[in-house]
A = this chain, B = another copy of it.
């Protein structure tokens, strides 16, 4: 069996490694257009400060993959076309073009930065305005931060990555302005929880402009002028964190079907509309555990898991990819911000009739020092009384407690069943009635 994999980050190397475990005799070629494989992209914001090294994000080198797992990893190999009928890919590398045929192909091209339509951005790209998606991006911005430490920074986009970068830039002592085009940051959060994030930003001296579009960037001496729909700002460095899109152009050009958000459509076995081609990771779609719909969640666990399963399935297994909930968490200064399942808007868009409940609880027993307030928001489906969504914000506990909600949603538990869970208690870790239980009790009432 000759297996070709396009892309060598999370999903790609998971697929290659698993295929090797499953089929020791397979010929496995991994084509990677950059010089990097298998790195922790989620760690990029944390490597911005001085003293942190971008290279620490590398997990296993291409050399080790070659030597220890017998994987033919080819760096600097960019695939330009997939030819499904001929079962081959065409591309180029430094020394010329290549054509490689395959028995099975796995597309793990990931996601790319959604470059916003800002006048002048192209001129400053990598020279004052930086994305933070790949390890190469990380090296570029890191070199700039070291050569010309900025006083003022401006972050375009207030999603996970943008806000993680904001925290790290503030901790480097930079002034930070965040410009977000949407009317609100983190639109999936309930308003009260969003307010806590805004308060945390203010407490840490972050200037946040919502409902504001960046229209043009231009160099002005050592500074950069940022023309927005609201005002003209001046900064020393721009971080472009406007989100990502599935890198599905190769697949689309080859005639493969696309799903949610333009991601490559795959069946439960990670197979595309061509039976010899699989796709996994941020380039591919997934099935939502609550709605059963095609969704696109560019998240690390999902990418790794799908890669691993695709690596099995190209070798003849039939292992289904489990449905997903988009369970996610990020840290923003002293807050943990987490979600699982549907937001109110997503549920309504899916045609569900919902009710929500929200509570605030202490994160420790009232007589035990420290801690703070944990906000728990639960969304329920009126028809089934099931819990279908949860958001948590707090100074501690949220990052781990969200998994309890995710597990209950996966299990299809009703609000009453969640309320009945026997959960852990000790004074340093919460009140005797766990916050999730109190929220479930309130949700049960709201569903009546």
The answer for the CA separation of A427 and B43 in the assembled complex, in Å, is 6
Specify the chain B residue showing the minimal Cβ separation from A367. B56
For window 375-401 of A, CB contacts with B under 8 Å fall at: 397, 399-401
A340–B404 Cα gap in the complex (Å)? 13
Is A188 an interface residue, CB under 8 A from the partner? no
Query: In whole angstroms, how far apart are the Cα atoms of A57 and B329 in the complex?
Result: 34
10 A-B interface contacts by CB (under 8 A):
A43-B367, A57-B367, A300-B432, A301-B422, A301-B432, A327-B422, A328-B425, A400-B400, A403-B436, A411-B413
Q: How far is the CA of A434 from the CA of B286 in the complex (A)?
A: 20
Say whether A329 contacts B424, CB under 8 Å. yes
- With both chains docked as a complex, state the minimum distance between the C-beta of A319 and any C-beta of chain B, in angstroms: 10
Residues of A326-371 at the interface with B, using a CB-CB cut-off of 8 Å, are 326-331, 336, 338, 340, 365-368
Task: Identify the closest chain B residue to A417 (Cβ).
Answer: B410
Whether B407 and A424, one on each chain, are in contact in the complex, defined by CB atoms closer than 8 angstroms, is no
Name the B residues within 8 Å of A336 (CB-CB).
Answer: 429
Complex contact A328–B40 (CB within 8 A) = no
A104 within 8 A of B: no
Nearest chain B CB to A287 CB, angstrom units: 11
Interface residues as binary, A48-87 with B (CB distance below 8 Å gives 1, 0 otherwise): 0000000011010000000000000000000000000000
Q: Provide the bound-state CA to CA distance between A323 and B214, in Å.
A: 56
Q: How far is the CA of A301 from the CA of B314 in the complex (A)?
A: 49
A40 to B366, CA, bound (A): 9
Residue of A59, A302, A411, A427 ringed by the most chain B CB atoms within 10 A: A427
Contact residue among B57, B407, B427, B432 (Cβ-Cβ distance under 8 Å from A408): B407
Copies in the complex: 2
Q: Is the CB of B424 within 8 A of A42?
A: no
Contact among B328, B397, B421, B422 with A400 in the assembled complex (CB-CB below 8 Å): B397
Residue of A365, A368, A403, A410 most packed against chain B (CB within 10 A): A403
The answer to whether the Cβ of A94 comes within 8 Å of any Cβ in the partner chain is no
Given A367-B46, A407-B408, A329-B426 contact (CB < 8 Å): yes
Complex interface: chain B residues within 8 A of A324 (CB): 422
CB pair B43–A365 under 8 Å, yes or no, is yes
User: Is B423 touching A327 in the complex (CB atoms < 8 A)?
Assistant: yes
| Given the contacts A365-B40, A365-B43, A420-B322, A428 and B331 also touching, CB distance less than 8 Å | yes
User: Whole-angstrom distance from the CB of A19 to the nearest CB of chain B?
Assistant: 17
Q: Is A125 an interface residue (CB 8 A)?
A: no
Q: Are B329 and A425 in contact (CB under 8 A)?
A: yes
Interface residues of A in 223-279 (CB under 8 A from B): none
Flag if A423 contacts B406 (CB, 8 Å): yes
* Alpha-carbon separation in the docked complex, A426 to B42 (Å): 7
